[in-house]
Amino acid sequence: MPRTYVPNPRGVRHQQHSVEELENALTIISSGKSIRSVSRDLNIPFSVLQRFHKNRQQNPNFLPKKLGGQISLPECVEKALVENILKCSDWGYPITEFELRMFVKYHLDRVGTKIAKFKDNRPGYDWAKLFLKRHKQDISQRMCQNIKRSRAAVTNKMINDYFDNLTPYLKDISPDLIINYDETNLSDDPGRKRIICKRGTKYPERIMNFTKSATSVMFAAAADGTLLPPYIIYKSMHLYDKWTEGGPRGARYNRTPSGWMDGRCFLEWFIKIIVPYCKCKEGRKILIGDNLSSHISPEVIKLCNKYQIDFILLPPNSTHITQPLDIAFFRPLKGSWRKVLDDWKSNKKSPSVDKSTFPSLLKSTIDNLNGRDGDVIRAGFEKSGIWPLNRDRVLNMLPKDDQFDTSSEIVENNLTMFLKESRFGESTHKKTRKSRLKVPAGKSVRAHDLESSESEISEDDNLLNQTFNDENDNEIDQPSGNDTIIEPTQSTSSGNRGVINMPINVLQTNIEEGTWVAVNFGKNKPKIFFGKVVSVIKKGEMYEGSFTRPSLNIKNLDKCIHAFPEVIDFCEFSIIQVIRILKNPKPLRRGRWEFEENLKSVQEEFEKKK
C-alpha cells in the first residue's frame, strides 16, 4: 500500500456513505420498512443495505465499518494511547515516534494480542504517521526545549505561595514603579544562517570569524515598558576609557575577573542605575529579581529602606516562567544582537569583538528593536503574571494539581508515580550547601533576613557610609567607570572564650539562635566543624547552622582561627551530632574568629570518648 493513497481521477468513483448514515438506514429497516423504499429515500444502493441487513440478522451486534482501510487497534486503545501521550507530555517526559511504536508492541505483548499487520507486534513507520494524522486535533510533533530537573520541580504550591506573598505589595501601585532586573551574556558568535548553495552540498560553509567569548550585561526594566540603562561587565582586571565610549545613553561599565556580576558590582549597579531612577519617583517602589545571595547585602537593604524600595525575590529555579525579562525581552534582544554582529563581522577581519567596539554594537542592537522593546517588556510582565496581577498565567504552564491523584482507568497508578518521581526526584533529598537566601519568594527582603546583617562596617568603608548618609547624593549621581566598592568586614561583640561540655538533655535547653556549636558530620571517621546556629527547626531535635573553615593564613599556628567561607555553608544537623556548645569566639579583622581550643584537639578528644 502506498504511504499516501491518491485515487485515480479516471477510475470509477463509488458512492461513499458514513457509518452514521448506514446505521440510521438499518434502524429504519428494522422498524418494518422495505429495503427498496429506504434505499430510494436515503439514496443508498439496494445491494449495500441488503448485505448489511443480512449481517445484522445473523449477528445483532454487527456494526457497519467505515470505507477504506481499517485501523489495526480498537478505537478505545487508540484513545488510551492519546491520553497517555498527553499525560507524559504534561509531566515533562514526552515520547518520540519510535517510543510510541515500542509502547504499542509492549502493550500488545502484555495483553497477549497478535496483530498480523505488525511485524513481531511492532507497528511500522507508516502506522505511526497515520496515527498522528488521525488524532491531529489532540496531538502533534514539535521540537522540544530541554529544562533542568530543578526547574521542573517547581510546583503549583510554590507559585501560589509566591503570588500570595506578592499580592499585598502590588496593591495600589503604578506599573512604572515595578522594576525587574536580570543578567544575560552576549556572545561573539552570530550563529548559523540559511544560505543558497549548490544542490547536494553536504556541508555548506561560510567564512565568518567567531570565538567563544561573551560579555555580561545587566538589564532592568519597569512594567510600563521603560528600559533602564544597561550595566556592562567586562572580564578584565582593569577598565580603560576606550571601553566606555559609544554605548547606550546612561550605560555604566565595570569589570570583574570572572566577567560576571559579583557582590561589589551589584552594589554599584544598584547605586548608579536603580537609585537615580527611584529618587525621582514618589511613593513605594518594587524591585523584583532572582534570589542569589551575592546580589543582596546589608548596604543594598539600607538603600532600599532609604528610598522606599521593596526588594522581592522570585521562587528558586523558576525564572523561566516568572522572570519578565527572561520570558520575553532577551530573545528579541539576542536576535537583534546576532543581526548586528553578523553585519559587523561581514566587513571585519578581526576574529572577535574587542571591548572598545562592544558599546557601539550594543547601542545598535537596542536601536534596531525599533521601539518594540516597550511592547516586549510589557508582554513579559503580563506573561509572568506580575502586571496585571494574574497567577493563572504562570499556573497554566505547570501540570495541573488533579493530575497528581488521578483516578482515570486508562492511566495506571504506576505511570503516575513514575512520572511524579521522574519530574520531582526523591523527596528525601537533603541539601548540605545553600547559596540562596532563606527568604520566602514574593516577600520583601529585610535586614535581619541576612546572615551578614550582624556585621558592622569597618573603618575602611567610611567612603561608602558617606554615600549612604549623604542627603544630597551627589556622589551617587556622578558617573565613573572606575568606581570601587569596598566590601565590609565581619565584626561582632566579643565574649568569653572556651568550650562547654554538656549532656544531651542540657544541650536541648541551651541551643538557641546565635549559639556557637561544634558539630560532627562524619559517619565512620569524625569530621568536626565549628559553626553558629542560624535557625531552630525543631527545639531539641533539628537545627540549621552556618559553618566556618580553619584559616591557614596566620603566623601563629597555635591559635585556632576560623573564618566563614565566601559561599556561605548552611547545613541542617540534629542534636545527636552536636559535640559541644562553644563560647563566643573572639572576633578578629577580615571576618576571622579566634577560638580557645584547636579543632584538631577537639577531634582527638571526641575520638577517645567514642
* Mean pLDDT score across all residues of the chain: 81
C-alpha distances in Å from residue 13, one per residue of 8, 10, 502: 9, 9, 97
Rg over CA atoms, the chain: 34
298 or 318: which leads in pLDDT: 318
pLDDT band at 181 (very low <50, low <70, confident <90, very high): very high
Q: What string of H, E and C letters represents the secondary structure of 384-429?
A: CCCCCCCCHHHHCCCCCHHHCCCCCCCCCHHHHHHHHHHHHCCCCC
Task: Specify the pLDDT at position 450.
Answer: 59
SS3 of 367-392: the string is HCCCCHHHHHHHHHHHHCCCCCCCCH
Q: Which of 276, 299, 283 is nearest to 486 (CA)?
A: 299
- Predicted confidence band at 447 (pLDDT cuts at 50, 70, 90)? low
Least confident of 38-52, 280-294, 477-491, 578-592: 477-491
Q: Are strands 285-289 and 178-187 parallel, antiparallel or unpaired?
A: parallel
Are 291 and 270 in contact by the 8 Å Cβ rule? The answer is no
Summarize the confidence of residues 318-322 as an average pLDDT: 93
pTM of the model: 0.60
Cα 333 from Cα 183, distance rounded (Å): 13
Residue 330 to residue 334: CA distance in whole angstroms: 6
DSSP code of residue 70: P
- Taking residues 136-145, what's their average pLDDT? 89
Burial environment of residue 466 by CB neighbours within 10 A (0 to 12, 13 to 18, 19 or more): exposed
Phi and psi based region of residue 498 (left: phi greater than 0; alpha: psi -120 to 50; beta: remaining)? left
Q: Is residue 345 over pLDDT 70? A: yes
Given a cut of 50, whether residue 250 has pLDDT beyond it is yes
Residues 381-403: tens digit of each pLDDT: 999 999 999 999 999 888 765 54
Which residue matches cell numbers 601563629?
556
pLDDT bin (cut points 50, 70, 90) of residue 415 is low
The set of residues, in sequence order, having a beta carbon less than 8 Å from that of 546 and lying 6+ positions away, is: 451, 531, 532, 534, 564, 568, 569, 570
Cα 370 to Cα 343: distance, rounded to the nearest angstrom: 17
Could you give phi then psi for residue 315, rounded to 5 degrees? -60, 145
pLDDT digits (tens, 9 = 90+) for 217-234: 999 999 999 999 999 999
pLDDT (tens digit per residue) in 559-610: 788 888 876 777 888 888 888 888 888 888 878 888 887 888 888 888 877 6
